[in-house]
Amino acid sequence: MISDKMEQALNQQIEKEAYASFLYLAMASWCEQQGLSGCAQFFFRQSDEERMHMLKIFHYVNEMDRFALTPAVAQPPHEYESVRQVFERTLAHEMEVTQAIYDLVELARAEKDHATEHFLQWYVEEQREEEGLMRMILDRIKLIGEGPQSLYFIDKEVEAINAAVQANEQEQEA
């Protein structure tokens, strides 16, 4: 059983994960409108992944005999100045989510809620991977540059990164 405070905190994280899913969906739409199909595919996959993160917490709360709430989600931004700005905002958002996960771990420790602390360790590792991936993409964007011709190469690079991430995920599932 988890405490009322933990139930509330986990429901807040469900909302954050849902928002991330919609944020990345909006970013995918922006990328498609810019003709960046590789980047759009990346963000569609990211959106699906964030939804899975949300559902994982949702099921955990219910499994712990508490009530997971279906979140109301604020409209995410859908206009960006550049592909670099999209990925900078993505990294900033992932860093916010990482801090929220760390706060949940601290709450679990303070409440001696070992089951929830153990459950959250998966998210700690996932956030490390997410931040690292966004930093790598930003590094590639900086190397390639942002001129009109560079967008083609950025899109192809993100498409290749996305394919590698998908292959790794499928390998881990097998």
Domains and CATH numbers, the chain: 4-169 (1.20.1260.10)
Q: What percent of the chain has pLDDT over 70?
A: 100
pLDDT at 174 over 80: no
pTM of the model: 0.93
The pLDDT tens digits for 42-54 are: 999 999 999 999 9
- Model confidence at 169, pLDDT cuts 50, 70, 90, reads confident
* Cβ atoms within 10 Å, residue 127: 19
